[in-house]
Amino acid sequence: MADIKMRDAVIKIDNSSGTPVDISGNANTLSITGTRQNSEYYNFASDDAKVIEGGRSHTVTMQIIVSDTQDQGYDLLGDWWETTGGGERTLTIQYPDSTAGSYQLVGEAVLTGFNYGDFEAGSAEPMMVEATMMVSGGFTRTVITGT
């Protein structure tokens, strides 16, 4: 299997109607952090620590390029942020791309942070915002069979 290239990934988030919207055209970076709770303990019989494994959690950080098009990345995330109660929305990440044989991660995400924008008078860079999410119930990783 070929090594995976980052840039062809496809990212989808549900809109308010629960329909997945491809926001790959607006998303600039996406980073997933997975952690597991662990506790380390010792007993008198051994020099070496023992470890008990606990539960996992996943957080997602995404940079979005701001556009003023309805239901694109920025508009969709802004609506989600402003919705009372926020709620879970399905986050789908397909990589290296969305064709047969690619991986697919699917999780129910809750939006935990969203900044509306950073502004700088002299800048020529595109306006970017950051959204952070927590994943409820973990990710499910499968392989896409294609059409």
Partner 1 sequence: MYELQRAMTNAKGETKQAGALVDESWLGNLKKLLERGWVKPVKRKPVLKTDKPLNEKEADNG
Binder to partner 1 among 72, 74, 104, 139 (CB under 8 A)?
Answer: 104
Q: How far is CA 95 from CA 11, 37, 119, in A?
A: 9, 27, 32
Burial 34-61 (b: 16+ CB within 10 A, else e): eeeeeeeeeeeeeeeeeeeeeeeebbbe
Closest distance to partner 1 from the beta carbon of 131 (Å)? 25
Q: Indicate the residue among 110 and 144 with the shorter CB distance to partner 1.
A: 144
Contact 80, 132 (CB under 8 A): no
Q: Indicate the residue among 16 and 99 with the shorter CB distance to partner 1.
A: 99
- Gyration radius from the chain CA atoms: 19
* Contact call for residue 143 and partner 1 (CB under 8 A): yes
Closest distance to partner 1 from the beta carbon of 107 (Å)? 13
Q: Indicate the residue among 127 and 144 with the shorter CB distance to partner 1.
A: 144
Binding site for partner 1 (CB under 8 A): 1, 99-101, 104, 106, 140-147
